Amino acid sequence: MSVERTFSIIKPDAVAAGQAGEILAMIQKAGFKVLALRMTRLTETQARGFYAVHSQRPFFSGLVKFMTEGPIIVMALEREDAIKGLREVMGATNPANAADGTVRKRFATDIERNCIHGSDAPETAEVELRFFFSTSELQ
Ligand code: UDP
Ligand code: MG
């Protein structure tokens, strides 16, 4: 595996609960380099666009409402095998199924309010990085 980039969001639940620092520390302890990081807040249009792949799912409207309820922290991360590695740090989507020591096991409330996003493949990582960051920010 080579060095690759991935994209992550600390979601509104975790930012509001003051968990962002601990989550970032977990990411950095797992060996990720932070290439770019910013606090922002999604508009409904942005949230719908970012999660467009899920637009036909029953949880879509709830997800959009959740992701727009408060500030988020968006991050560009780099590491060997970054995409799979970040998913391991995150834990399973449903915290009930997440392994001990993962972000979602420690902090998530339920399958919706699960604290963190991470890209699932190289193609989606590049699209998601470009959704939030300019080329110069990613150097
Ligand atoms: N989600 C939800 N209900 C579900 C499945 C997912 O509310 O039954 C939300 C949850 O916040 C999740 C996001 O939609 O993180 C995207 O779902 P995905 O299946 O891509 O999970 P992830 O890649 O975040 O683990
Ligand atoms: Mg996903």
For residue 139, the model assigns a pLDDT of 87
Its pTM stands at 0.98
Kindly give the distance from the C-alpha atom of residue 22 to the centroid of ligand 1, in angstroms, as a whole number.
21
Is the CATH number 1.10.3720.10 carried by domain 3-138?
no
Ligand minimally distant from the alpha carbon of residue 128: 2
Q: Is 69 in the pocket of ligand 1 (CB under 6 A)?
A: no
Examine the residue annotation and report whether 54 is marked as an active-site residue of this protein.
no
Tell me the residue type at 92: A
Shortest-distance ligand to the CA of residue 125: 2
* Local structure of 3: helix, strand or coil: strand
CA-angle at 114, arms to 104 and 102, nearest 5°: 10
Specify the pLDDT at position 41.
98
Q: Digits of tens for pLDDT over the chain (139 positions)?
A: 689 999 999 999 999 999 999 999 999 999 999 999 999 999 999 999 999 999 999 999 999 999 999 999 999 999 999 999 999 999 999 999 999 999 999 999 999 999 999 999 999 999 999 999 999 999 8
Residue found by looking up tokens 């963190």 in the block: 116
Q: Which atom in ligand 1 lies closest to the alpha carbon of residue 66?
A: 11
Hey, which of 114, 120, 127 would you mutate to test ligand 1's pocket, going by the most ligand atoms within 8 Å of its Cβ?
A: 114
